Amino acid sequence: AQSVTQPDIHITVSEGASLELRCNYSYGATPYLFWYVQSPGQGLQLLLKYFSGDTLVQGIKGFEAEFKRSQSSFNLRKPSVHWSDAAEYFCAVGPPSGGGADGLTFGKGTHLIIQP
């Protein structure tokens, strides 16, 4: 069965500093990979996704993520964080093809705190 591990429950970063959120997955094939952000009391917003092709994907709000097959990782990065980036971040995996149950499996999330 597929699984997603986000090893960091909380991360604190100073405003303007760089950020990397870790995500490791376990899946039988190349999965469909996502990063979502959730502000308190809100739904999920898609930051970026990887399906195939270039392993470095660009997303919204200045985020990027790199798929590393050898490490089964899909870490999220941002060169300079803003106070508005404080939120919960979820990494998720899903099967690349449709049909049947292709709901996503989510990691437990990483809570990002921005220090002034």
Q: Which residues bind other proteins (CB under 8 A)?
A: 32, 34, 36, 41-46, 49, 51, 90, 94, 98, 100-109
C-alpha span between 86 and 84 (Å, rounded) = 5
Least Cβ distance, residue 116 to other proteins (angstroms): 24
We find the least distance from the C-beta atom of residue 102 to other proteins, in angstroms, to be 7
**3 or 115, CB closer to other proteins?**
3
- In the bound complex, what is the minimum distance in angstroms from residue 4's beta carbon to other proteins? 9
- Which residues touch 9 (CB under 8 Å, ≥6 apart)? 108, 109, 110, 111
Give the number of residues written for the chain.
Answer: 116
